[in-house]
Amino acid sequence: MKTIYFDNNATTQVDPQVFEAMEPFFKDLYGNPSSMHHKGGEVAPYIREARRKLSSLLGCEPEEIVYTSCGTESDNTALWSAIRTQPDRKHLITSRVEHSAIVNNVTLLRRLGYRVTEVGVDRQGRLDMEEFKRALTPETALVSFHWANNETGVVFPVEEIAGMCHERGVVFHTDAVQAVGKIPMNLRESKISMLSLAGHKLHAPKGIGALYVRQGLKFLPFMVGGHQERNRRGGTENVPYIVGLGKAAELAEARLGEENSRVRALRDRLEEGLLKIPYSIVNGDRVNRLPNTTNISFEYIEGESILFHLSHFGICASSGSACTSGSLEPSHVLRAMGVPFTAAHGSIRLSLCTYNTDEEVDFTLGKFPPIVEKLRALSPFWKDGAPTDSALLTCDTDSCSVCS
């Protein structure tokens, strides 16, 4: 069975060219760049070159890049550095739709006595800018908003926000894990203080990430150790992966145009086709959105069962339903957007990349409608091609706080 991979926001396939670039570093080029002999000396230029390629994709200086192990480490490094370098500022601003790498720090921060404002979003997943502006104070140690949402692809106006933070002397971090390689960026011309990315979202392997730290920004390392990364991240450099990320960045820069033209067109065609299925709705702002992502709810059926049927045909996607998360509630992103539970449980995210083809979109458009039909035929909320008013629509307990 051929795999049709529409789950690139979860992770991507390592590009063969990336793998090829990495291989020598598992063989002859095994030196530690800190070593004072030729085995160390021979790898250093490769790291320098990799750093240059990544900085070119971001539009920043090579010295502004700190390599980490993943997106989560980059997010944590940024957050805790901002907190620890500004001990008298006890307030943070973030949003209600961030990745768990940020969200799960909020509880901890509150326990430590910090005030945290989690700015809301509207029905389209757009940030409430008024609420954000009201929240911004001289006490604010950090504002952290993702550049693009991993579930819906909705893009936040981070450059505008960075400017507002800069005017007030507030540090601004953006989790750009989903944006890098999909949206052109030029950090030199922005006021962003720190930016997180993860290699495995742009065809580099898992296990490598990076944090951009603007020159001159006060910084404290998260991983304390050796002098590596100019004292900003201890630990012997992950040479093969740094080289791999360099190659991936070079490819991503070259493919940015295609991502925003051909991939976007593929995504749009897939989305339009799926919206022909009755009772299907797009979650998220269709204007300010990543070119590769669509999130669609198929009402009255449940996401996991859709995924299993898709998987039967080799199609890989993901869902914001409760069942797929192992938790009992649907995705916090869809809930923050106020997507009704009736639709949230049936949400499917399809995220494309430059490897995807027209044939794959056609194949998927052929398989999808019968799957939805089959599941609706099983559903107690569906009868003869239309929803029924079933007593089961909401819980019979008036006090149910999940639905309200």
Partner 1 sequence: MWEYTDKVMDHFENPRNVGVVSRIDGEGQVGSLSCGDALRLTIQVDKDRDTIEDAKFQTFGCASAIASSSALTEMIKGKTLDQALSLTNQDIAEFLGGLPREKMHCSVMGQEALEAAVANYRGVPVKSAQGELVCKCFGVTDSEIERVVRTNRLTSVEEITQFTKAGGGCGQCKPKLEEILARVLHQTAKEPAGKPARMTALRRIKLIEEAINTEIAPALNRDGGDIELVDVDGHEVLVTLKGACASCPASKQTLADFVTDRLRSLVDPEIVVREYHA
Ligand X SMILES: Cc1ncc(COP(=O)(O)O)c(C=O)c1O
Q: Determine if 175 is a binding residue for ligand X (CB under 6 A).
A: yes
Task: Find all residues with CB under 8 Å of 400, minimum gap 6, and list them.
Answer: 394
Q: Which does 72 bind (CB under 5 to 8 A by kind): ligand X, partner 1, none?
A: ligand X
Q: How far is the C-alpha of 245 from the C-alpha of 17, rounded, in Å?
A: 11
Please pick, among 70, 323, 353, 400, the residue that the annotation labels catalytic: 323
Among 40, 312, 357, 370, binds partner 1 (CB under 8 A): 312
Amino acid at 369: P
Q: How far is the C-alpha of 279 from the C-alpha of 297, rounded, in Å?
A: 8
Q: Which does 23 bind (CB under 5 to 8 A by kind): partner 1, ligand X, none?
A: none
Q: Which is nearer to ligand X, 104 or 390 (CB)?
A: 104
Q: Determine if 370 is a binding residue for partner 1 (CB under 8 A).
A: no
Closest CA to 296 of 328, 334, 322: 334
Q: Are 281 and 343 in contact (CB under 8 A)?
A: yes
- Least distance in Å: CB of 100 to ligand X? 8
Residues 319-348 that bind partner 1 (CB under 8 A): 321-324, 326-330, 341-342, 345
- Least distance in Å: CB of 329 to partner 1? 6
Q: Which is nearer to ligand X, 107 or 261 (CB)?
A: 107
Q: Which does 380 bind (CB under 5 to 8 A by kind): partner 1, ligand X, none?
A: partner 1
Q: Determine if 401 is a binding residue for partner 1 (CB under 8 A).
A: yes
- Residue 128 sits at the vertex; the CA angle it makes with 144 and 193, to the nearest 5 degrees, is 25
323 tagged catalytic: yes
Q: Determine if 379 is a binding residue for partner 1 (CB under 8 A).
A: yes
Q: Which does 71 bind (CB under 5 to 8 A by kind): partner 1, ligand X, none?
A: ligand X
Number of H helices and E strands in the chain, helices first, is 15, 15
Where b means 16+ CB within 10 Å and e means fewer, 119-137 reads bebeebbbbeeeebeebbe
Tokens of residue 102, six digits: 């940020």
Active-site residues, by number, are 323
